[in-house]
Structure 1
Amino acid sequence: MPKPKLSVVVTRRLPEAVETRLSELFDVKLRDDDTPMSRAHLVTAMKSADVLVPTVTDEIDSTLIAQAGDRLKLIANYGAGVDHIDIATARQRGILVSNTPGVLTDDTADMTLALLLAVLRRIPEGLSAMQSGAWEGWAPTAFLGGRIGGRRLGILGMGRIGQAVARRASAFGMQVHYHNRRRLRPEVEEQLEATYWESLDQMVARMDVVSINCPATPSTFHLMNARRLKLMKPEAVVVNTSRGEVIDENALTRMLRSGEIAGAGLDVYERGTRVNPRLRELENVVLLPHMGSATREGRIEMGEKVIINIKTFDDGHRPPDQVVPSML
């Protein structure tokens, strides 16, 4: 008899090509509408499936994992970040967790530079003037922003994405600096023309732009807290395409309102979709709806990684992108 197909539950709508391939390989349950799965439906899914395919919008905490059935053996996350999954509890229950690293590196780095340019060159203000019909012609002092070349960029987190940001920033003529848990190898530093700072405080105080590119972990929660934000120069800006929890959003909002920080470009927020309403009122802030990974190519490649992780697991091997607590 042929081996029965794995039961796979997908919590959100995925690109059609990904859903089609999943359906060919597994006994898959797909969503009809593109909304987050309720907690009650997540419980049902985790009791009945061999594999759960969640996204960043699903909070897979210890309480939820405790209600999982004996069948659930793999949480194949659709996305690189796994801070919404209690990895340690899953491991205790014998449930493997995998993710999709690497495929979104260039897309997220592109968005980091887009936000940097948007803030420094005041692009949204110009766009608003054109769309509203308020523009009356060129003027020597209108929409004055700042030149990109020659500015100091401090990258917080020099992994795949941080390094991709560094390469792009160098092409714009920026001076690249970074702080990381571990210093890069000398040959990598030389290639990126990047200067390492052991002290985050000292780096932040000297940068024109600070880019957040580190993952969300207990050690990075509010790494950019009120005290550290106050170290930034008044003319500096901060860009975050990583995780909102790395920045104390209330402190950032207060300092942006008071002019203690010149501007910010944000694609992620501390409380998910519940964005601080005072941020929306500020002209020196560019807000995007978590678009860093939103390319057709990237989302299909994410799905392909999910499929490889599930198929490898189904074949009796460790998923190539398995996540364990020691990696966090």
Structure 2
Amino acid sequence: MAMRRAIACALKKSVTATSTNLTSFSSPFSRNLHSSSDSKKIVGVFYKANEYASMNPNFVGSVEGSLGIRDWLESQGHHYIVTDDKDGPDSELEKHISDLHVLITTPFHPAYVTAERIKRAKNLELLLTAGIGSDHIDLKAAAAAGLTVAEVTGSNVVSVAEDELMRILILVRNFVPGYQQAINGEWNVAGIAYRAYDLEGKTIGTVGAGRIGKLLLQRLKPFNCNLLYHDRIQMDPELENQTGAKYEEDLVKMLGKCDVVVINTPLTEKTKGMFNKELIAKMKKGVLIVNNARGAIMDTQAVVDACSSGHIGGYSGDVWYPQPAPKDHPWRHMPNHAMTPHISGTTIDAQLRYAAGVKDMLDNYFKGEDFPPQNYIVKEGELAPQYR
């Protein structure tokens, strides 16, 4: 009961985001999203909470919590299957690909929805992301197949922006070596202080200034930094004034000015591997990088090499490729990093918001009603602008 009340409360408080303009057309290949009110087979792919599942009644983003919607779905006659087993031909997900109608997954434990899987999913109509970021889906294949792809836009932007601010401070203040000294019984102030700085007066640039980027800039303003941003769309003057941020049309020029770079751009064909050896070389020596966007935006080995040489003074983020990251992923062992598993957007507060958003969209789906426009990533064969 407490969980249901929390989800209901979260739904009322859900972020109201600005609409994403989708130029829609009627595709001859579109699958009828609202073809009937018959029972639907819905599969959710989430991470397992294991022993932590019982420690918080609002831990709904896990296999055990199942977004808190099982009773509601089953009371309406729908079949709801939840698993964390998502990879390979013998996975639990693969067993259901051929006849599922809806697939719900998250960026934190993504089920990679390839063109091959879409081809085999003859009954699939709807792909929902519980959270933000649908790049684990082959969006072009989904559009060609007439599928609808949607996410809970705005559900965890506060969570990610707060996490980015934390990571900036961790890198600037050289926190991780100090923590390691504390747990190892050491005391060597010089070993930390020689590369610890104040945030005030530093130049910080965000690559991408969408919902998360704007929130980060607003939170950085009180630190009296020099704030820059690069984006395909310039903010309106009032918002620029509120954030104190200056627009930089030329990405390379902006990167060359920055002491700290924060990546807030979606993963697309254009941004995949964008931060390669050549681009990193154009950044300041000792630059600090925070990336909570997507791991594949970075050239993995280029980051390792630059951290090892000192060209990157510190790298922190919670996104990897693939996810979960294998034990031998080189970012686990490179110097001067402050990496974590993908956690920034799955706080308990964020879970309640994206669980409420998924429930709301499923309710619309069953009723044959549209979703909020900003939630669509693929609609009637057309991709949202940020993924084109």
Conserved 8 A contact 2:308-2:335: no
Contact kept in structure 2, 1:103 and 1:301, CA below 8 Å: yes
Write the distance in 1 (CA, Å) between the matches of 2:247 and 2:368. 42
Contact between 1:11 and 1:37, CA under 8 Å: does it hold in 2? no
Partner SS, residue 166 of structure 1: helix
Q: Quick one: higher RCO (CA 8 Å, sep 6+), 1 or 2?
A: 2
Rate the CA distance shift 1:132–1:190 in 2: closer, same or farther, 3 A.
same
**Does the 8 Å CA contact 1:221/1:246 hold for their aligned counterparts?**
yes
How far apart are the structure 2 equivalents of 1:182 and 1:87? 22
With the length of structure 2 as denominator, give the TM-score of the two structures.
0.77
Alignment correspondent of 1:129:
181
| Corresponding residue of 1:98 | 150
Q: RMSD between aligned alpha carbons?
A: 2.2
Counterpart mapping for 1:292-311 below 5 A: 292-311=344-363
The CA deviation string for residues 90-144 of structure 1, in whole angstroms up to 9 with x for no partner, is: 23323211111101101001111111111111222111111121237xx5x3521
Quote the residue 2:65 is aligned against: 15
Aligned residue runs from structure 1 range 136-175, under 5 A: 139=189, 141-144=190-193, 145-175=196-226
Report the more deviating stretch, 167-176 or 19-28: 19-28
**Which residue pairs with 1:62 in the alignment?**
115
CA shift, 1:280, in A, is: 2.9
TM-score (structure 1 length as normaliser):
0.91
**Cα deviation digits, residues 180-208 of structure 1 (max 9, x gap):** 01111112111111101111000000100
In structure 2, give the amino acid aligned to 1:191. Answer: Q
Percent of counterpart pairs with the same letter?
A: 25
| SS of aligned partner of 1:143 | helix
1:153 Cα deviation from its structure 2 partner: 0.5
**CA–CA separation in structure 1 for the residues paired with 2:273 and 2:156:** 24
Q: Per-residue displacement from partner, 1:240-279 (whole Å, max 9, x unpaired)?
A: 0100111112111101101112111121123331376443
Cα 1:208/1:275, change in 2 over 3 Å? farther
**Alpha-carbon distance, 1:21 to partner:** 3.9
Structure-2 separation of matches of 1:77 and 1:276: 28
> Compared with structure 1, are the counterparts of its residues 300 and 20 closer, same or farther at alpha carbon in structure 2 (3 Å cutoff)?
farther
Change (3 A) 1:106 1:313: same
Distance 1:197 1:116 in 2: 20
Stretches of structure 1 lacking an aligned partner (at least 5 in a row) = none
SS of residue in 2 equivalent to 1:198:
coil
Shift of 1:218: 0.6
In structure 2, the partner of 1:322 is 376
The CA distance in 1 between the partners of 2:97 and 2:41, in whole Å, is: 11
CA 1:97–1:281 in structure 2 vs 1: closer, same or farther (change >3 Å)?
closer
* 3-state DSSP of counterpart to 2:376: coil
1:82 is matched with 134
- When structure 1 is superposed on structure 2, of 306-315 and 83-92 the one drifting more is 83-92
Of residues 274-283 and 217-226 in structure 1, the stretch that sits farther from structure 2 once superposed is: 274-283
| 2: CA distance, partners of 1:238 / 1:190 | 25
Does the CA contact (< 8 Å) of 2:127 and 2:149 recur in 1?
A: yes
Whether 2:326 is the aligned partner of 1:274: answer yes
Structure 2: gaps (5+ residues): 1-35, 47-62
| Counterpart contact for 1:250–1:276, Cα < 8 Å | no
Q: Are the aligned partners of 1:267 and 1:287 in contact in 2 as well (CA < 8 Å)?
A: yes
Deviation at 1:39, TM superposition (A): 4.3
Say which SS state the counterpart of residue 242 (structure 2) adopts. Answer: helix
- In terms of mean alpha carbon deviation, does 191-200 or 274-283 score higher? 274-283
- Alignment partner, residue 23 of structure 2: none
Question: What aligned pairs does 1:88-237 form with structure 2 within 5 A after superposition?
Answer: 88-135=140-187, 139=189, 141-144=190-193, 145-237=196-288
What is the identity, as a one-letter code, of the residue corresponding to 2:341? P
C-alpha displacement of 1:37 = 5.7
**Cα distance in structure 1, aligned partners of 2:209 and 2:343:** 21
Rounded to whole Å, the distance in 1 between the matches of 2:256 and 2:317 is: 20
